[in-house]
Amino acid sequence: MESIFRAAFMYIFLMFIIRIAGTRTLSEMTTFDFILLLVIGDASQQAITSNDYSVINAVIVIMTFILMDMLLAYVKHKFERVERFIDGSPVILINNGKKNKKLMDKACIEDADLLEAARKLKGLERLEQIKYAILEKNGEITIIEK
């Protein structure tokens, strides 16, 4: 029973930590971010399993994660506010050609990030060519050219 509580706590804790870190962080992972993710995974595993490395304990922990995920999906489906809190919502960074610096700063998006997305997605060379730039819920940037 202790493993269930440990797994449930770590699930909720990691969900909030990832939410605080922001979607942009996960979508543009650097080598250091990847290593940090591995360290977090190892630390989480140690916190969840304690000294019980049995197969049964692993099955209990995995089932707890799956059930927590299914429960969270159900709650998000029923309550839009919960979904917005957990998954976030799209953010318009450039609206009709005008940068929203306040939202860009909040999302930790620089002009260089927008230009990179514009080059990759649309082959654009300048910010002035962008009509809309939207930071999607999954952390990707959508570009709509003028």
Q: What single string gives the DSSP state of each residue in 80-140?
A: HHHHHHHH---EEEEETTEE-HHHHHHTT--HHHHHHHHHHHH---SGGGEEEEEE-TTS-
Distances in whole angstroms, Cα of residue 87 to Cα of each of 29, 45, 60, 96: 18, 24, 26, 25
d(CA 25, CA 106): 13
Q: Return the number of other C-beta atoms located less than 10 Å from residue 88's C-beta.
A: 17
* Token duo for residue 40: 């977090």
* pLDDT band per the 50, 70, 90 thresholds, residue 20: confident
In the predicted structure, residue 21 carries a pLDDT above the cut 80: no
Residue 1, CB-side half-sphere exposure with 13 Å CA sphere: 0
Residues of the chain with CATH 3.30.240.20: 91-145
pLDDT at 25: 45
CB 10 within 8 A of CB 62: no
Report the top-level CATH class of 91-145. Answer: alpha beta
Least confident of 13-17, 77-81, 131-135: 13-17
Between 111 and 38, residue with greater pLDDT: 111
pLDDT at 22: 65
Q: What is the mean pLDDT of the chain?
A: 86
In the predicted structure, residue 133 carries a pLDDT above the cut 90: yes
pLDDT at 2: 85
Look up residue 78 and give its DSSP letter.
H
Q: What is the pLDDT of residues 30-72, one digit of tens each?
A: 777 778 778 888 888 888 888 887 888 888 988 999 999 999 9
